[in-house]
Structure 1
Amino acid sequence: MNATALTEDENDDANLGLYQRATQTGAEWWRVSVADRPETYRLEHGVDDASGTGAVDIDLVVDAENLRAKLKKWRREGFAIDSGDTASAPGALERKAFMPELRRVAALAAAARHRPDDDTGETVRIGRVEVRCGAGGALVPRVNPAYLFAARFNDIVEDIGENRRVMLIGHTGAGKTSLIEQVAARSRHGVLRSNMNGQTTVGDFVGFWTVKGGETLWVDGVLPTAMREGLWLIVDEIDFAEPSILAALTAVLEPHGRLVLKEKGNEIVAPHPSFRLFATANAVGAMSQFRQLYQGANLMNEAFLDRWRVYLLDYLTPAEEADVLMRTLAPNMTRTLAATLAAIAADCRAAFAREDLSSAFSTRRLLDWAELMLRTGDPERAAGPAIYAKVSPEDAALIRGIVRHHIAPAA
């Protein structure tokens, strides 16, 4: 038996293999392999005798913590890992080679994506990504210099540059729309927004015929307008959209998808190269567990979602939000004040996720409260118009309790 000492590794996957110890009649062994569920491991036990390999008499699945406990027990009992079995196990070499090979080809792909060509045009760096600039215009959002582009946004920005259809899901006030707008602001692209608030019709979205001065005219909706003019279109709260609007969108979801205006004699609208399509939602996919918090949200099938790159966007961490407060309200906002306010916001959001609060707590609301607080010098007085008047009396009472938990009353 080619055996080595049993070791504990912080990476439990490094402990896969066959563990053996000699017995009077042969050998006893445990085999560790990856189970079907993430972060779980399959343990098989057997005893070999003089006649050959024995059958598996124990077969169970454990989590990582239990595996580490088993490793300690086996060490005490004299088991050693058979290094030869690890290498020869079916798929073991391929499994170990996968991540190094992936890193190698991913680095090559990244170099190819970022290799300059003769016609790149002007670009701006956002995070780690170079984004091609647009033509500017009145529809370009205003740059927020205090906006924080967290590292986790890099994949989203890269998808925008590659003209992927991006859907951002998350709670109200998590910054889904503002992320897209701030990318557009820095790269000088015009933005149109269409809010699926239950009153937006397919005519508003695609277009309609109207009579003006005795003449019948066609009026483009926001979708063909954005496609023709190379604007970025954000479909807010797409999980509240009418089925007819979703049907119109489906044809455009491919990177170079075209829109057919049936009402206008099947006119085909081809997308401008700068056109980008985005959607935001509260209760879709990984957010479906919060559907009860967003009454009226529609269930979206996987076939529709598979046409998007869907990113789950959570609120900023307390440390990130404290940085935003300081950058936005400098020089008056201190680190101590910002950290406390960010902690209050985090507690309010946790209460919302537990359904103790019926209203979310956005970064915009926090900034408004902080700005008014710096002007008045009184958290409670500032919270009146910034928070309490916007929520139910029950929510206001709970938020007031959270505030008082973090801020002692003035002497």
Structure 2
Amino acid sequence: MNHGDFLKDYRIKDEPYYRPQAEEIALFTAAYERRLPVMIKGPTGCGKSRFVEYMAWRLGRPLLTVACNEDMTAADLVGRWLLDSDGTRWQDGPLTQAARHGAICYLDEIVEARQDSTVVIHPLTDHRRQLPLDKKGELIQAHPDFQLVISYNPGYQSLVKDLKPSTKQRFTAFRFDYPSADVEAEILARETGIDPGLALRLIGLAESARRLKGHGLDEGISTRLLVYAASLMADGMAAKHACRMALVDPLTDDDDIRATLEHAIDALFG
């Protein structure tokens, strides 16, 4: 793949809708100007990935997103040798592609990956900005426009599944949280066309669930799930059915928690 094709294939053509919460756009832009690596921390479904997409569009940079998982190996990030009809050929992984061509590489939920696979990012996150491809015998000097961005949910931290301090201290960082009620209502109305008053009632339900975090729920209702529920309601589904389908059943199987959320639905939607 040549440089031009790469930039074309991974550019975000249409502006993603993103509603700022605070100073995150200015903070990210400042980090990008210095090509500093960025770590974004926040709960599931609060807008981290949408924000990164928006910033890639705003900065005019291609974006490669990697959904990290426990089976991901270093080769999945940097690349591997493959066999084909002509023999062996090297295939760059997404991290290598981004470093070669000057894209933003976004490692989503990086703590889900094995720690031995994430150490490969270290040389890219200090003054060297290099990526050694040991299996190929090549040392890549990162393109001047390359930037590395990672995200994770601190609520799922454990002694076993967390970033090493030696990794964390290579990044600038800022925290995301769920938007304030008025901002979240604006997001729901903009994304789905739902009535703002109905959006506020959905957010009232979300706030009830978020208060249960750590008291029976691992995570509260995300903005993403609220968009799902609002979409169903905008298409004519009854509010109670939409809430159960998008906000209750995906979140818990605990009978007591379900009963609490059902009570909140009845109170808010009659």
TM-score, normalised on structure 2? 0.87
- Name whichever of 225-234 and 385-394 sits farther off: 385-394
1:355-388 alpha-carbon deviations (Å, 9 max, x no partner): 4223442212101101211222511122243234
From 205, 212, 222, the equivalent of 1:344 is 205
1:160-186 alpha-carbon deviations (Å, 9 max, x no partner): 233110001111112112111111123
8 Å Cα contact 1:143/1:186 also seen in 2 = no
Q: CA 1:156–1:377 in 2, change beyond 3 Å: closer, same or farther?
A: same
- Which residue of structure 2 lines up, in the alignment, with residue 279 of structure 1? 150
8 Å Cα contact 1:257/1:271 also seen in 2 = yes
Q: Distance in 2 between matches of 1:237 and 1:245?
A: 13
- Which residue of structure 2 lines up, in the alignment, with residue 335 of structure 1? 196
8 Å Cα contact 2:105/2:147 also seen in 1 = yes
- Name whichever of 357-366 and 317-326 sits farther off: 357-366
- Which residue of structure 2 lines up, in the alignment, with residue 140 of structure 1? 11
Structure 2 residue identity aligned to 1:311: F
Within 5 Å, give how 1:260-275 maps onto structure 2.
260-265=132-137, 267-275=138-146
Q: Distance in 1 between matches of 2:67 and 2:160?
A: 13
Counting matched residue pairs gives 262
Q: CA 1:178–1:380 in 2, change beyond 3 Å: closer, same or farther?
A: same
- Which residue of structure 1 lines up, in the alignment, with residue 94 of structure 2? 222
Q: Distance in 2 between matches of 1:277 and 1:145?
A: 20
- Equivalent position SS for 2:173: strand
Structure 2 residue identity aligned to 1:251: P
- Which residue of structure 1 lines up, in the alignment, with residue 171 of structure 2? 308
Q: Distance in 2 between matches of 1:176 and 1:391?
A: 19
- Which residue of structure 2 lines up, in the alignment, with residue 405 of structure 1? 267
8 Å Cα contact 1:357/1:398 also seen in 2 = no
Structure 1 residue identity aligned to 2:192: L
8 Å Cα contact 1:376/1:382 also seen in 2 = no
- Which residue of structure 2 lines up, in the alignment, with residue 357 of structure 1? 217
Which one has a larger percent strand, Structure 1 or Structure 2?
1
Q: Distance in 1 between matches of 2:231 and 2:146?
A: 36
- Equivalent position SS for 1:209: strand
- Equivalent position SS for 1:316: coil
Within 5 Å, give how 1:227-242 maps onto structure 2.
227-242=99-114
- Which residue of structure 2 lines up, in the alignment, with residue 63 of structure 1? none
- Which residue of structure 1 lines up, in the alignment, with residue 3 of structure 2? none
- Equivalent position SS for 2:9: coil
Structure 1 residue identity aligned to 2:228: D
Give yes or no for the alignment of 1:382 onto 2:207.
no
Structure 2 residue identity aligned to 1:398: T
Q: Distance in 1 between matches of 2:208 and 2:29?
A: 29
8 Å Cα contact 1:142/1:185 also seen in 2 = yes
C-alpha deviation, 1:322, in angstroms: 1.0
Among all aligned residue pairs of Structure 1 and Structure 2, give the percentage whose two residues are the same amino acid.
25
Structure 2 residue identity aligned to 1:157: T
- Equivalent position SS for 2:199: helix
C-alpha deviation, 1:340, in angstroms: 1.8
1:3-61 alpha-carbon deviations (Å, 9 max, x no partner): xxxxxxxxxxxxxxxxxxxxxxxxxxxxxxxxxxxxxxxxxxxxxxxxxxxxxxxxxxx
User: In angstroms, what is the RMSD of aligned CA positions?
Assistant: 2.3
1:80-110 alpha-carbon deviations (Å, 9 max, x no partner): xxxxxxxxxxxxxxxxxxxxxxxxxxxxxxx
Q: Which has the higher contact order (CA 8 A, sep 6+)?
A: 2
- Which residue of structure 2 lines up, in the alignment, with residue 318 of structure 1? 181
8 Å Cα contact 1:230/1:274 also seen in 2 = yes
- Which residue of structure 1 lines up, in the alignment, with residue 124 of structure 2? 252
Q: CA 1:142–1:404 in 2, change beyond 3 Å: closer, same or farther?
A: farther
Within 5 Å, give how 1:10-409 maps onto structure 2.
137-141=8-12, 143=14, 146-153=17-24, 154-254=26-126, 256-265=128-137, 267-283=138-154, 291=157, 298-330=161-193, 333-352=194-213, 354-376=214-236, 378-394=238-254, 395-407=257-269, 409=270
TM-score, normalised on structure 1? 0.59
Q: Distance in 2 between matches of 1:166 and 1:300?
A: 14
Question: Which runs of 5 or more structure 2 residues have no equivalent in the other structure?
Answer: 1-5
C-alpha deviation, 1:334, in angstroms: 3.1
